[in-house]
Amino acid sequence: MLAPPLRKRSVLPILAPHWYDFGPPDFATSGFSPSRSHACAPHPFRIHLYQTESIVQIVHYPDPVLRQVAAPVAEITEEIRRAVGEMFELMYEAPGVGLAAPQVGWGARLFVVNPAAHPDEGEEYVFINPKITGKKGATFADEGCLSIPGVMGSVRRAKWIQMEATDLEGNRFRIDAQDLLARIIQHEQDHLDGILFTDKVSDADRPDIERQLESIQSPPQPQ
Ligand code: NI
């Protein structure tokens, strides 16, 4: 168990699930094997929540916060645990399978994942100050992003990855992930560096994606 259990939430029924992130979950191919290590480096910066009171909101493209490089988390505080809980809630409401802090306007190097996109299914992962330490293989699959609703495109990702991160208890751990889980992790990790999946879509999907992004930036004016 990587993430400490979060309070169970009741969520609105999802009537018409739209798998914004990478299509329906496939547990047969989302392999996962955690192992702990204590290679915990000190983190020099302190992060601050943009929103300190009300429920955080998902920010949308082209909000500039999505292009910023997030800062390492210095200390796991109660405020961070609470914000992580709210991120899970937002992710499930969307619904999505992953959400990175910059997507709620918070410039912190952390993201949450549940490949099942539902609080009663799958497993909840919290990755703080994550670092991809190994990659192998390549696959293409459609991706979407909760910050760019309605836009989807095929992206090449490593099939297997190895990652190091800190959990909500402050423990450094290592995981090996493949297929869907590896894809989600790579997508969310990119958010921490201001990179969006639309930057990486296949050549075949690029013209269409660019057209769609254009129309988000300058929506047609009412006559
Ligand atoms: Ni995204």
The DSSP secondary structure of 136-177, one letter per residue, reads: E--EEEEE--TTSTT--EEEEE-SEEEEEEE-TTS-EEEEEE
CATH topology of domain 39-216: Peptide Deformylase (3.90.45)
Annotated catalytic residue, options 53, 188, 210, 214: 188
The H or E element containing residue 87 is helix 78-93
Residue 5 Cα, ligand 1 centroid: separation in angstroms? 24
* 143 included as an active-site residue: no
CB distance 130 to 149 below 8 Å = no
For 214-223, how does the pLDDT look when each residue is reduced to its tens digit (9 = 90+)? 988 887 777 6
pLDDT value at 77 more than 60: yes
How many angstroms does the Cα of residue 98 sit away from the middle of ligand 1? 7
Q: What is the mean pLDDT of residues 9-28?
A: 33
User: Which residue type occupies 109?
Assistant: R
- Tell me the DSSP string of 89-114: HHHHHTT-SEEEGGGGT--BSEEEE-
pLDDT in tens, 54-73: 457 999 999 999 999 999 99
Q: 189 alpha carbon to ligand 1 midpoint, in Å? A: 9
Residue 50's pLDDT band, with cuts at 50, 70 and 90, is: very low
